[in-house]
Structure 1
């Protein structure tokens, strides 16, 4: 099994705070942790995007937010507005929840068109399309992943963390095969340990969403040695 340097682990983590009871001080702490440990991004609710951007400035940590979260059942026009506005407020990356009902009904063209419209409306953002794997069978996971890749999304993401279950290694393997190199994979939902992070990376994920980034990094330092974060 490959050993990952702590900075490699940090660089794939979207340090996440999507609790409904989060307050501004929580966002400040999240941003301070992201800067300290070198996480790829902070992922916050849309209402906190501007504050996260203020806290982080134009430094190396990106600002990620969620669109249509957590059910994906918003009108397409609402998702479009949310995407455009959050980018204007400073978001670099958008984690967009699909309309799961369209996927479960096999309405793939409609699903692809919705994703494509959001990608087109926010061209400066990185788009990670959340397909909520816990709601889909293997065929649905495959087709939803393909729809996201065909629509131009840079990533397909497993889960919201608010659905029936979190990510599984099988999900990631199915998604990776489905996109055939056209998009990358983000695993999220229930990822709390260094061992899980490494397993998901080896299964094919290249980004990890977790609210346990600090404890994961402390595990990494214990396992591989500490280079004090800035």
Structure 2
């Protein structure tokens, strides 16, 4: 994999709650400089990022229900529609973890499918927060994501209960098969980490450490 192909795998993220306007501006400048193709910022900053990056064919992604997932489906749907209106072209939503733990599987599936519907054909990824789940829950959650019509299953936010592991990526890939995407996120801190996730079956990587990774560095960030 050459450098361009490597960069194409990375979703550059800035999702810290304290990010300022100037932080977003710096982030967008780095995105342009390094040639990242997709970025994720908190919904408040989607319009700013879109306006900065649209001329460079960079997609702006929106985290929905971030970072706990426990809000009502109607809120996630409204958040999705507003994000798209502001310029988002990819949607990464967090499942209702409480409903999953309660075995209210139809609620979980409905929650996902409504956001997929609200996305109107845009790429949708569903975060299941693997670090908080048992293996059986990971399997059930991934099947629900698949049944609900999302494009990707995603490991983690990096904010709750740990991040991506190669073992979890392998598990998710074994469930969804080749037809769906698997995104690894949370704790991906080095080029070695990225390569391990890709080898395990991930075809997208979410990381706030993308610049450090490209420059051969290592980050202690968890998200």
Same fold (TM over 0.5): yes
> Which stretches in structure 2 are left out of the alignment for 5+ residues?
218-223
CA contact (8 A) 2:36 2:58 kept: yes
SS in 1 for 2:56: coil
Residues 91 and 119 in structure 2, CA contact (< 8 A), matched pair in contact too: no
Identify which of 142, 160, 164 aligns with 2:161.
Answer: 164
Counterpart check, 1:60 vs 2:57: yes
Q: Which residue of 1 aligns with 2:188?
A: 191
Question: How is 1:109-148 mapped onto 2 (pairs within 5 angstroms)?
Answer: 109-148=106-145
Tell me whether 1:51 sits opposite 2:41 in the alignment.
Answer: no
What is aligned with 1:69?
Answer: 66
Instruction: Tell me the alpha carbon deviations over residues 82-103 of structure 1, each in whole angstroms, 9 at most, x when there is no partner.
Output: 0011001000111100001111
User: Structure 2: how far apart are the matches of 1:62 and 1:218?
Assistant: 22
Give the whole-Å Cα distance in 1 for the aligned partners of 2:141 and 2:31.
31
Figure out how many residues of one structure are paired with residues of the other and give that number: 217
Shift of 1:58: 4.2
TM superposition shift of 1:76? 0.6
Asked if the contact 1:14/1:207 (under 8 Å) is kept, the reply is: yes
**In angstroms, what is the RMSD of aligned CA positions?**
1.2
Q: 4+ runs of 1 displaced by more than 3 Å?
A: none
User: So what's the TM-score if we normalise by structure 1?
Assistant: 0.91
Query: Which position in structure 2 is the counterpart of 1:84?
Result: 81
Residue in structure 1 matching 2:146, options 122, 142, 149: 149
CA spacing shift, 1:30–1:109, aligned 2, 3 Å: same
SS at match of 1:180: helix
